[in-house]
A and B are shown apart, each in its own frame.
Chain A
Amino acid sequence: MAELTLDDVTKVFTEDDGNEITAVDEVSVDIEDGEFLVLVGPSGCGKSTTLRMIAGLETITTGEIRLAGRRINEKPPAERDIAMVFQSYALYPHMTVQQNMSFGLEESTEMNDDEIESKVADTAELMEIKELLDRKPSDLSGGQQQRVALGRAIVRAPEAFLMDEPLSNLDAKLRATMRTELQRIQDDLDVTTVYVTHDQTEAMTMGDRIAILNDGILQQVGTPLECYHTPNNRFVAGFIGDPSMNFFEMDVDGETLVIDRFEYPLKPAQQEAISGRSDVVFGIRPEDIRIKEPGGLSDNYQFEVTVDVVEPRGDENTIHLTFDRSVDDPVTFTATVSGLRNISAGDEVVATFPPDSIHLFDTDSGVAVHNRTFDSEDATHQVL
């Protein structure tokens, strides 16, 4: 077990026609000993390339990767003391589960057969696959193959685990179970883990911290709650959270933000944060918007809006709202309300945008200039 450091790691691919493509651009992350870091981003963002550079399956163009303080750039994969779980599981089809799990120990350690057998048996016990040891991968279900793939990584007791979308081939129900199971195992073993996924729910629920990549550039590293409540920029704000945050591109008019039929008054601290700007992107999460029955506006943060579409999700409803349905291309946004509330399209309601829940981003760069009120200490206490 060891800490893993990525220091300005860059990967440039050269295509056959000589074009250079920067897949990973100066990514720096410190992953602590025993930490579970989730690397998340849309497809093609460079997260898998980053993982493969850590594994040694891709060369590193510039920068340095250190494991336990030692540079590993030039080490071949086998000598990095890292185990990886692949999306396709990559089990050896001609070997039994037992042989699959022994292979790495036979090839990379000096252990004798008895030691290997007992290590495999222990790991099989932990993974609850003892009765599968004599079977071949083709006789196993997807979930069982997944466990074997994990077992094969665990049995080598590596310094770090790398996981490349390991749950994406499972059906939704099994995926949820395995998510919890993986967290339990990682907690037990306390091994530094880098987990790649495109699924922000997995990132939010599994990671000690998450690192969000877009276009090869690291957008933010932080705990799930930090990334959720205090996103560094508009990309992170939009990527984390489902349904996604609402954004309005607004003009600054003194103490208020203005767009078509929507005017929002700013508090002094917020005014200060955007001073000197003529326009700004206003953001608010659907779950922060409060919806009540029509009947008078009590303050400037309330707006009369019309329900456009209702998407029932069971536990809650996602409702699409507009300020004015009569104009072409009206400004719309989404809000979530309890699934028990009876709301239907066409209803007139009042939406409240609480001033301590809003985010403001620079229009051009997308950088967050003001985030909602969030105290991570508080948040931790509330969770407990």
Chain B
Amino acid sequence: MSTETGRAGERTLFGHSWRRIVLYLVLIGMGAFYLIPIETGLMTSIISPETYSGNFPYLPPLEPLVPGTGELSIEPWRGAIDGLGQGLVNSVILVVPATILSGLLGSMAAFGLTTISWRGQIGIYILFVAGIFIPYQAVLVPLTQFWYNVVPLRAAFEPLAALPLVETYHWKLLALIITHTAYGLPICTLLFRAHYKKLSDEMVEAAQLDGASVATIYRRIILPLSIPMFAVVFIYQFTQIWNDLLFALTIVQFGDAAVVTQDLVGIGVSQSGTNFPLRMAAALLAALPTLLVYIFFGDKFAKGVAA
């Protein structure tokens, strides 16, 4: 093979320049593969449904330059906002507290199971880790029973509905918040524990000698040092909870409390056929929060998934 790749430490598979060109072509081709479904959706979402023909779904609406590509319109997006509005609001009400709670509790659990070390903690921790891999189906029926027949959450919310901004159906969102917090805890604990294992034991001992109680060590030493990890955990949890359908389907089931993923499933289908521009706009609108988070904090997202 190539003897011209003399540079020490070079890991190049493609020494000659034409090989580099092939390499870049492959990389760009793969990039196109990952982007095209999204790009096609985006282009379709800005075509007026009246002129939509489906001829060149991957092209922007260029009519009359390219016949058959349809006319530019924001109507699909307006329709998506109308159709998903309530779901988006519900999703925000769900995601923000569930993300913060699972992150915070995960950090506390990791602190209690890592920074303060004691015999037997690994056994408790294994139960946390195993929780990451539980298929949700294994708990769905009990969860539905629990929230509908055991906990009188709905009854508790009925008097509260008199308050401004509170509706009776919010009880379902509260149930969903608690459920997502519980099921997000294992991965949050794992991420924080990996971080806390790297912190110096001597630093914690120094704080103990300085007179700090366990709670003070957490609040004044560990918590400030966890900020980068909180970013990773929050981004990961935000994406997971925003994207979930299964828990919403089985706990909210239907009605005013439906979240955005539930609303998205049925949008754009009617007797007269599928309204693809509306459907693509809705898909993009539902994905927008996680896409934005990913584009702006992609490195942290990668850190979260690779852990």
Contact = CB atoms under 8 A, between A and B. Distances in A.
Nearest to B212: A107
B221 A92 contact: yes
A56 B216 CA distance: 18
Nearest to A57: B205
Contact of A86 (B205, B213, B216, B220): B205
Contacts of B212: 78, 103, 107
Contacts, number: 64
A78 B206 CA distance: 10
Interface string A83-123: 11011101111100000000110011100000000000000
Contact of B210 (A56, A57, A94, A104): A104
B160 interface: no
A94 B224 contact: yes
B59 interface: no
Interface residues of A, number: 25
A55 interface: yes
B221 to A, nearest CB: 6
Contact of A91 (B203, B208, B213): B203
B202 A108 contact: no
A76 B224 CA distance: 25
B83 to A, nearest CB: 46
B148 to A, nearest CB: 45
B211 A108 contact: yes
Contact of A92 (B203, B205, B209, B211): B203
B202 A103 contact: no
Nearest to B221: A92
B225 A83 contact: no
Nearest to B217: A107
A38 interface: no
Given A86-B202, A88-B202, A103 B220 contact: yes
B225 A78 contact: no
Given A93-B225, A107-B216, A57 B208 contact: yes
A1 interface: no
A82 interface: yes
A79 B206 CA distance: 13
Nearest to B227: A94
A104 B211 contact: yes
A77 interface: yes
Contacts of A55: 205, 209
Given A103-B220, A107-B216, A90 B202 contact: yes
B200 interface: yes
A90 B208 CA distance: 12
A107 B202 CA distance: 18
Nearest to A87: B202
B129 interface: no
Interface string B217-251: 00011001100000000000000000000000000
Interface string B177-203: 000000000000000000000001011
B96 interface: no
Nearest to A85: B206
Nearest to A158: B209
B207 interface: yes
A42 to B, nearest CB: 21
A90 B210 contact: no
A90 B200 contact: yes
Closest 9 pairs (CB-CB, A-B): A108-B211, A104-B210, A107-B211, A90-B202, A78-B211, A90-B206, A86-B202, A90-B203, A94-B224
Interface of B: 200, 202-203, 205-213, 216, 220-221, 224-225
